[in-house]
Amino acid sequence: MMKWLFGICSIVVLCCSQPASAEETGWALFDKVQQSVKQHNFDVSYVVLKGGQAETYRWLHGRSGDKEIEHLIPMYADGVDIVRRSDKVYYLLSERPSLVTQSSSIKELPPLLFQSPEKIRSLYDAVAGSSSLMDGRSAQLLRLSAIDDNRHHYWLWVDVQTGFPLRIDTLSEQHPNNKNRALEIWQVTHLRITPELPDTLAQLLEIELPALTPPVVAKPASQPHQLSWLPKGFSISDDPLLVPQLQPDVLSYWLLSDGLHQVSVFVQNSHQLPTQAYRDGATTIYVQADAKQDVTVIGPISIETAKRLAAAVR
């Protein structure tokens, strides 16, 4: 009898420990991804596929002692260079004044790769999947499934040898297990990791760059509207930065964040347009219109969540 009870208890303990072990394996793989994009010297080309369109980039990264440098070049936008040196990001434009912000990452890169592991763990479950070949490299699948329905899911294919992300699919929150429902695909087309810092990055470490641009707050001193509901895990930023396209027509403006994703909600006088919703890859753009005002919601959320946010404006 005692042997039988011991056997049953052992099976229960084993069944309970397997999911936890699988998730810890997934988080260990995710930690390896984040370390790879921060520690290696690399030269990467990648493409972002969304809405039937493709945007290509070249991304260089390196470290020299305690200094970190990276250079992002959008290949589809002439005259734009994005450089990060440690905690400052420089937008160098050929025909306009440069913009300098303070950040430990470039926002045009997948934020999933740079947000703190504690924040990602609070929003997602991680499960390591099977291995496959991707462009001649052995890659392991990592699924990040959103704990809350307000967020997209992510599938990452990770280079087994280096830990570098080879592909990231952003999946519809309604269809987390259907690869054919990817809203956006971020995919590496060329990867070269070197022991030395590339010469071009070494030069960028030394040259003089513009001074930090003073932040301008977009939020009016007194807003005539209130936002009565927020998606789970989101909070309102106290000091959202200036959005030039909104000035001076904005009546009320909120920037929401869950630490990984950002959603803008703003109110303007009516432009006499119909209510409309569409998606640019993983980004939803929803405009709720009436005779007096337009409420616009922009961010990586479902259309249903965007509608509920717009309806929460009072």
Question: What does the pLDDT read at residue 213?
Answer: 75
Task: Give the C-alpha separation, 153 to 58, whole Å.
Answer: 25
Q: Per the domain annotation, does 6 fall within a domain? A: no
Question: What does the pLDDT read at residue 65?
Answer: 87
Q: What is the pLDDT of residues 266-292, one digit of tens each?
A: 999 998 889 999 999 999 999 999 888
Do 156 and 239 belong to one domain? no
Provide the sign of the torsion angle of the four alpha carbons 85, 63, 72, 79, taken in this order: positive
Question: What does the pLDDT read at residue 217?
Answer: 52
Task: Indicate which CATH number applies to the domain containing 90.
Answer: 2.50.20.10
Do 198 and 298 belong to one domain? no
Classify the phi-psi angles of 14: left when phi > 0, otherwise alpha if psi is within -120 to 50, otherwise beta.
alpha
As a whole number, the mean pLDDT across the chain is 86
Do 256 and 112 belong to one domain? no
Domain that holds residue 114: 20-206
Do 83 and 174 belong to one domain? yes
Question: What does the pLDDT read at residue 18?
Answer: 47
Do 171 and 259 belong to one domain? no
The alpha-helical segments, DSSP class H, found in 156-301 are: 199-206
Do 94 and 178 belong to one domain? yes
Mean pLDDT along residues 51-72: 93
pLDDT confidence tier of residue 23, bands split at 50, 70 and 90: confident
Q: Per the domain annotation, does 290 fall within a domain? A: yes
pTM, rounded to two decimals: 0.85
The number of domains in the chain is 2
Task: Give the C-alpha separation, 6 to 3, whole Å.
Answer: 5
Q: Per the domain annotation, does 46 fall within a domain? A: yes
Q: What is the pLDDT of residues 152-188, one digit of tens each?
A: 999 999 999 999 999 999 998 665 555 457 999 999 9
Do 176 and 38 belong to one domain? yes
Do 289 and 182 belong to one domain? no
